Chains A and B, each alone.
Chain A
Amino acid sequence: MTFLDVTIELLIACGYTLGIFGITLVFSIPLGLIFSFLSRSKIKVVRIIMRVLIWIIRGTPLMLQIIVVFYVPGLVFSMPMRNRMLAVSIAFVINYAAYFCEIFRGGIESISVGQYEACQVLGLTKAQTFFKVILPQVIKRIVPPMSNEIITLVKDTSLANIIGIGEIILTAKEIVSVHAIIWPLFYTAVFYLIMCGILTIVFRKIEKKLDYYKG
C-alpha cells in the first residue's frame, strides 16, 4: 500500500471518529446540564441517585461501558444491539455527560449567592436569572476545563475499536495486519494531532472572546 492509499483509508476512518466526536458533543452537553440540575435537586433521593450514577460512570473504564452497552441488551434482555454506532454513541454520551455534569455543577456553584439575590430584588424570573446572568458567567469559568475534556474526547473515540467500529485506530490496525507494515499505526498520530490542534486554537479563540470582562 502506498502512502496515499493509507492516507485515504485513514481519512475515511476519520469520518467515524468525527461522527462519534460530534454526536457525543451535541448530546452530552445538554444531558450534562440536565444531570447537573438533577444533582443539585431539592429532592434528596434524586441527588443520591445522581451521585451513584456519576460515581459508576466515572469509576469504570469507558471501554468497559462500551462493551456493556453493546452486549448486555442481548445477553440479559435477549434484545441484541444491532447498531454498533448506536451502542458507542450511547456509551460516549452518558460517559461524557457525567464528566460535563461535574464541570457544570462546579461552575454553577462557584457563582456567589449575591448574583442570585441581585436578580431577585430586580424582579427577574428564575429562568431569566439563570440564562441572562448566571449561565454566561458559568460558561466563562468552565471553558478551560471543558476544552480539556473535549480534547480528551478526540482521543477517546479510539476506544470504539473494541466493538469493531472502523475508526482511525481500527483501520490502521487492519492495514497493519493485512499488509504487514507497521508505520500506518504511527501515522495515525498525525490525524489526532491535527484534530486536537484545531480544537486548541478554537478554544483559545473562545477564551479570548470571553476575556472582555473579569470575574
Chain B
Amino acid sequence: MAVLEVVNLKKRFGNLEVLKGIDFSMEKGEVLAVIGSSGGGKTTLLRSLTFLERIEQGKIIVDGEEIVSEAEFPVKAKKLKKGETAPEARTEVRSVYPKDEELRIKGLKMGLVFQDFNLFPQYSVLGNLTLAPMLVQKKTKEEATVIAEEMLEKVGLIDKRDAYPYQLSGGQKQRVAIARALCMNPSILCFDEPTSALDPELTLEVLKVIASLKKQGVTMLIVTHEIEFARDVADTVIFLDKGLIIEKGNAKDVIDNPQTDRAKEFLHKISSIED
C-alpha cells in the first residue's frame, strides 16, 4: 500500500494557478526528490502536503486514509439579468478537509523540516524536541526525553541536548529540526530545501544525516537544488515545472537522461553552475 497518494492536486493563489494537477504516490521507505526551476510550485506542493496551505482540488491520501477528499458542490449561479433564463445547475469538484481539530491530529502523519529551521529560541534542544510530544501526544517528560535522545543520537547531536538554538551552527540547527520532526514519528518526513540556508561546508553534514535516515527506512520527500544529492540518495525524482510534473521516474534515469527540453535545460544550467 502506498504511504502517500496525491491525486490531481490543484492549488491557486488568487488568479495564479500554481499547481495544475499533480499526481504521484510514494511507497514506504521511498525517498522522493522534487526538483525544478524557481517558482515552479515546489514549496507550494510541500506546504499543501503538510496542510499549511489548503488546496482547491484533489485528494491527499496518507497510509490509505483520505485526509483530504473530494466532493461535488453546486456552482453558485450568477445573478440573472431580466429576461435571462436560469442555466442548468452546475456542480464542481472541490477538496474537502476534515475539521480543524481532526486535521491537527491527522496532519501529524506529515512531518516538515523548514528551510530556515524555525526552532523555538526559548527552549533548549531537548525542550524543542519534547514540547510537541508532551503537549500533543500527552507523553510524560521521561517518555518524551527517551525518544528525543534517541533522535538526537540519530542526527549526531546528543552532546548538544542542553544547548540553546542560538548556540548552534546552521547545520546543527537543521539537524535539531530534523530530530524534532522525527520525534512525532511521521509517516513521511518532508524537507523544503533543507540546505539552502547553509554554508557549503555545513550542507554536507545535513545531507549525510538525510542519507543515514534513508538507510533506517525513513520515508522522505525532499525539495532540493542539490542535484548530485538527489541523484545519489533519492529513489525517485519528480521534475516540477510551472505547476505540472513533467518528468517522473528513477532518480538516476531522470537526472542523467532527461526527456523533456525543460528538464534538460534546467539540469544543464545547474551543472554548469556547479562546475
Write the residues of chain A forming the contact surface with B, with a CB cutoff of 8 angstroms.
Answer: 112, 114-115, 117-118, 120-125, 128, 132-133, 136-137, 140, 212-215
Contact = CB atoms under 8 A, between A and B. Distances in A.
Contacts of B52: 117, 120-121
A122 B180 contact: yes
Contacts of A115: 118, 120
Interface stretch (B104-112, B202-210, B246-254, B257-265): B104-112
B107 A121 contact: yes
B93 interface: no
B132 interface: yes
A136 B127 CA distance: 14
Interface string B174-214: 00000011001000000000000000000000000000000
A8 to B, nearest CB: 46
B166 A215 contact: yes
22 contacts: A114-B114, A114-B116, A120-B51, A120-B52, A121-B51, A122-B131, A122-B180, A122-B181, A122-B184, A123-B107, A123-B132, A123-B184, A124-B135, A125-B104, A128-B135, A128-B136, A132-B135, A133-B120, A136-B122, A213-B165, A214-B121, A215-B121
Contacts of A124: 131-132, 135-136
Nearest to A112: B118
A117 to B, nearest CB: 6
Given A120-B104, A121-B107, 9 more contacts: A114-B118, A118-B114, A120-B51, A121-B181, A122-B131, A123-B104, A123-B108, A124-B135, A133-B131
B122 A213 contact: yes
Nearest to B101: A125
A208 to B, nearest CB: 15
B229 interface: no
Nearest to B190: A121
A138 to B, nearest CB: 10
Interface in B204-231: none
Interface of A is mostly: helix
Contacts of B95: none
Nearest to A136: B122
B164 A213 contact: yes
A125 B50 CA distance: 16
Contacts of A120: 51-52, 104, 107
- Range class of the B interface residue count: 20 to 34
A121 B50 contact: yes
9 shortest interchain CB distances as A-B pairs: A215-B121, A122-B132, A118-B118, A114-B118, A214-B166, A123-B136, A121-B112, A213-B164, A123-B108
Nearest to B121: A215
B121 A132 contact: no
A123 B133 CA distance: 9
Contacts of A114: 114, 116, 118
A123 B110 CA distance: 10
A128 B110 CA distance: 20
Given A122-B180, A123-B132, A213 B107 contact: no
Contacts of A112: 118
A124 B105 CA distance: 9
Chain B CB count within 10 A is highest, among A112, A117, A123, A124, for A123
Contacts of A214: 121, 164, 166
Contact of B114 (A117, A132, A133, A140): A117
Interface in B159-175: 164-166
Chain A CB count within 10 A is highest, among B111, B116, B118, for B118
Contact of A137 (B107, B112, B118, B121): B121
Chain A CB count within 10 A is highest, among B50, B104, B165, B181, for B104
B254 to A, nearest CB: 28
Contacts of A133: 120, 131
Contacts of A125: 104
Contacts of A132: 131, 135
Contacts of B111: 121
Chain A CB count within 10 A is highest, among B107, B108, B114, B122, for B122
Contacts of B51: 120-121
A133 B118 CA distance: 11
